[in-house]
Amino acid sequence: MPYDGRLLAGVTVLAAVVEAGTLSRAAVALGLTASGVSRAISRLEARVGVRLLERTTRSVRLTDEGRRFFDRVSPLLAGIEDAAVEASGSKGVVRGRLRVNVDPFFSRVVLAAEVARFLARYPEVSLDLIMRDAPGDLVADGFDLALRFGDPPAGGFVTRKLLETRVLTVASPAYIAAHGRPRHPAEVADHACIDFYEAASGRPFEWEFHRGSEVAPVKVAARLMVSDSGALLEACEAGAGVAQIFDLGTRHLIEAGRLVQLLPDWSDEVFPLYALYPARHYRPAKVRAFIDFCLAVIGPRAQSFTGPEGKD
């Protein structure tokens, strides 16, 4: 198929409209008139044979066909931008839009309080932190990388282990004063427990206790189940029951006496945190900078294991 520069130009205009939200703001960003933007979109719609935008006097939005089309082409535009940066000799310059598919717990408990420092350090970067329960298709969804707990899924990812964090069993001082503390994992089943719903699997996390090579699974009958890490921590602090949490990002609650660690001899279970990248030939500077920043943030919070990158 011969190269059609007008098609690429139309896609570029469409991306500007989607980002700006209106034809007039997109026109300012592109240095065109609003009527020029409208004509470019009309030519693109004629070229692909479907209506891409619903236009009103105040705003525009993608049609269903337009959303499917844009979801396919937006990662390609990002790839063109990355290639241009590399070719221009500024591969080491940290700039551009960075889209991160991030685990909700890591985003809320660790990144949220620190992200302003990253933005201040790299003023030419705009950052999208999108909380998802699974990595999905990074390329199709337009992500530069994902940060996920647990073993990485099979697929065309490049993976890098950032750390391993222990699983701790905790309760509030008030709960322990009222109900006592379990002395063995089997006794946890007799306590009020707070389950965490794992949306990716569609079921609660399984409770296990690890001591060296010994594993003690426990089936709990929880009266409370949550799907938000913040709600889990707050409910546990309020005395709603026993919970299992990551050491990463929560150790300060134990050190401050707001939570009490239970069964410390049975806390050898660990979860890895991985960075997942699309299988590209090079890693943009903005991605490398963000991973380095994450490592600096989590360094004081947990014992980290920084491993080499490798193809999964």
**Number of domains, the chain:** 1
For residue 85, tell me if it sits in a domain. no
pLDDT at residue 268, as a whole number: 93
For residue 45, tell me if it sits in a domain. yes
pLDDT at residue 87, as a whole number: 63
Q: What is the pLDDT along the chain (312 residues), one digit of tens a residue?
A: 455 667 888 888 888 888 777 888 888 878 888 888 889 899 999 988 989 998 876 678 888 888 888 878 877 776 676 666 666 655 567 888 899 999 888 888 888 889 999 999 999 999 999 888 777 777 767 788 899 888 877 666 788 888 889 999 999 999 999 999 999 999 999 999 999 987 767 788 889 999 999 999 999 988 899 988 889 999 999 999 999 999 988 888 999 999 999 999 999 999 899 998 876 545 778 888 999 999 998 876 544 333 444 433
For residue 82, tell me if it sits in a domain. no
Q: Does the pTM of the predicted model rise above 0.85?
A: no
pLDDT at residue 84, as a whole number: 66
For residue 52, tell me if it sits in a domain. yes
pLDDT at residue 277, as a whole number: 84
For residue 157, tell me if it sits in a domain. no
pLDDT at residue 83, as a whole number: 67
For residue 31, tell me if it sits in a domain. yes
Domain containing residue 31: CATH number:
1.10.10.10
Domain interval for residue 15: 5-67
For residue 304, tell me if it sits in a domain. no
Q: Which amino acid is at 72?
A: R
For residue 59, tell me if it sits in a domain. yes
